[in-house]
Chain A
């Protein structure tokens, strides 16, 4: 009960922030009802997807300071579990999603146990490696369609199929994802104030001191990594039903892992709103940039250059991202 109360308790946030957040939530609620293009709606769905990825990343990467560049492998596990179960045994989304979480979290324990013996850059590199290995495995594994991937045929079902999450119009997906988005925020709000959240912030600051306060550093990291994995896997499952055609390249590529970390860092790692802000900036930018540059073949790599510039700016100017700037400004105003 106390946990539930804490999840809904935003009282430590400044009133201004809550007003803005409330207004934005209202806007997101009515957004699909406004006369917006299909492209805008699809972009907004991508915003939700990456916000949730970012929230998950934020637990271990932001609050815990463990830079994880392998989140895509859990997108893959979630997506493939849902797709395989649906195609082969007609198991609907709401059942396959928890199974996917279970598999992803199990996998996260298996690789988290050795990986968290490493620290700093070595940890980051190792997460990239495990993700790439898993992707390569899926590319040669016939059971999951190898490099061709899997396709969920919409003709086989009668949309709107709420149980299997097969819809024709994006608006359905939008609202399902919006619900996930709100739950994701509530969970993160609980997490940051929970014992584990506090322990993780202490670990990020100084592991020796954390140990002296009775914290099992290794285990706290593994647990949080599992939470992050849960977030990503749920969205991965959703992704399978939404995109309906998944292959290793577009669910598990390094780009996705980096994009997840990048958005959370741009918005502000280790803050409640950071990942949402990051996704809110980068996703529309990425979408529209691609649209505009689509015709110009010579400028195809522009978005990558943009990411590189953002990474450099964050690391040089404000490691805590946009939210770090806001916080710094507030502190200065207070003193």
Chain B
């Protein structure tokens, strides 16, 4: 049974159709990459799944339950956590306090929340930063903190929205290591939105490509990278012919 099934999801903002008839399923334990050019509707899709936006049409089933009509806090309590693209973490709270906010979803006890937060921070090599204010940390560490906070809610599925955006190659390696650790060792199913194609291709089990609100391709990273429609979406018409003509790389 699939952990998440999105069926014919449509999302309109006024006259703009941001998500158009998107369907896919996600198995437990998968790491799914979600890619597409700017403005393709990736974040909107996340927002719909996570209950931030009400959907216009379609159905979302998570863990055998229809969550289409649920609001964000209710979705979160069912084990679906997410991070935000632009937002880092609460700057007014220390790193430990931030993660504790997540942990408080599952317990009312301050002691338990704190213990769990410390365990997560240690696991992600953030212990040294625990007493610091998030606003004092470099961007890469802030992104790690948002992931740690989301983990505090004990999610079955974690939606990561461009956690690598704005980071340098070294930092990207670090954050990818964290994501692999969360997926592989902690057993959390992950959907990864990423702009950096190469990063998604290297990490994901499977990739879905969205363009102008529609799903245009789905498959193994290698297959998707050779798909003419994907090349067209990313690079324009001209490159499709070249790729079709047997070029080594698009």
Q: Chain A residues in contact with chain B, CB under 8 A?
A: 2, 6, 193-195, 198-199, 201-202, 204-206, 208-217, 270, 331, 335
CB pair B108 A195 closer than 8 Å: yes
Tell me if B179 is interfacial: C-beta within 8 Å of chain A: no
CB pair B153 A214 closer than 8 Å: yes
CB pair B109 A2 closer than 8 Å: yes
Contacts A204-B92, A206-B87, A214-B105; is A198 near B100 (CB within 8 Å)? Answer: yes
Contacts A208-B84, A211-B76, A212-B76; is A198 near B105 (CB within 8 Å)? Answer: no
CB pair A209 B73 closer than 8 Å: no
Tell me if B180 is interfacial: C-beta within 8 Å of chain A: no
CB distance from B86 to the nearest CB of A (A): 10
Instruction: Report Cα–Cα, A279/B181, bound state, in Å.
Output: 51
Interface size on B, residues (CB 8 A): 34
Q: Chain B residues in contact with chain A, CB under 8 A?
A: 50-52, 71-73, 76-77, 81-82, 84, 87, 90-93, 97, 100-102, 104-105, 107-111, 113, 133, 136, 149-150, 152-153
- Pick the residue among A199, A202, A212, A335 that contacts B72 (CB under 8 A): A212
**Interface on chain A toward B: helix, strand, loop, or mixed SS?**
helix
- Pick the residue among A2, A199, A204, A216 that contacts B111 (CB under 8 A): A2
User: In this complex, what residue of A is CB-closest to B51?
Assistant: A211
The 6 A-B residue pairs with the shortest CB-CB distance in the complex, in nearest-first order: A205-B90, A211-B72, A214-B105, A214-B76, A195-B104, A202-B101
CB pair B97 A198 closer than 8 Å: yes
CB distance from A1 to the nearest CB of B (A): 11
CB pair A213 B87 closer than 8 Å: no
CB-defined contacts of A213 to chain B, threshold 8 Å: 73, 76, 81, 101-102, 105, 149-150, 152-153
- Most central of A198, A199, A213 by chain B CB within 10 Å: A213
CB pair B110 A209 closer than 8 Å: no
Q: What are 15 A-B interface contacts by the 8 Å CB criterion?
A: A2-B110, A195-B108, A198-B100, A201-B101, A202-B93, A206-B87, A206-B90, A208-B52, A211-B51, A211-B73, A212-B150, A213-B73, A213-B81, A213-B149, A216-B73
CB-defined contacts of A2 to chain B, threshold 8 Å: 109-111
- Most central of B92, B113, B133, B153 by chain A CB within 10 Å: B92
CB-defined contacts of B108 to chain A, threshold 8 Å: 195
User: In this complex, what residue of B is CB-closest to A204?
Assistant: B92
Instruction: Report Cα–Cα, A199/B107, bound state, in Å.
Output: 12
- Pick the residue among B82, B107, B110, B136 that contacts A212 (CB under 8 A): B82
Instruction: Report Cα–Cα, A202/B153, bound state, in Å.
Output: 14
Instruction: Report Cα–Cα, A250/B76, bound state, in Å.
Output: 47
CB pair B71 A198 closer than 8 Å: no
User: In this complex, what residue of A is CB-closest to B104?
Assistant: A195
CB-defined contacts of A208 to chain B, threshold 8 Å: 52, 72, 84, 87
CB pair A195 B87 closer than 8 Å: no
CB-defined contacts of B84 to chain A, threshold 8 Å: 206, 208-209, 212
CB-defined contacts of B91 to chain A, threshold 8 Å: 205
CB-defined contacts of A214 to chain B, threshold 8 Å: 73, 76-77, 105, 153
CB distance from B191 to the nearest CB of A (A): 14
CB-defined contacts of A193 to chain B, threshold 8 Å: 110
- Pick the residue among A6, A194, A201, A212 that contacts B90 (CB under 8 A): A201
Instruction: Report Cα–Cα, A210/B136, bound state, in Å.
Output: 21
- Most central of B82, B90, B105 by chain A CB within 10 Å: B90
Instruction: Report Cα–Cα, A2/B112, bound state, in Å.
Output: 11
Instruction: Report Cα–Cα, A206/B87, bound state, in Å.
Output: 9
CB-defined contacts of A206 to chain B, threshold 8 Å: 84, 87, 90
CB distance from B143 to the nearest CB of A (A): 13
CB-defined contacts of A216 to chain B, threshold 8 Å: 73
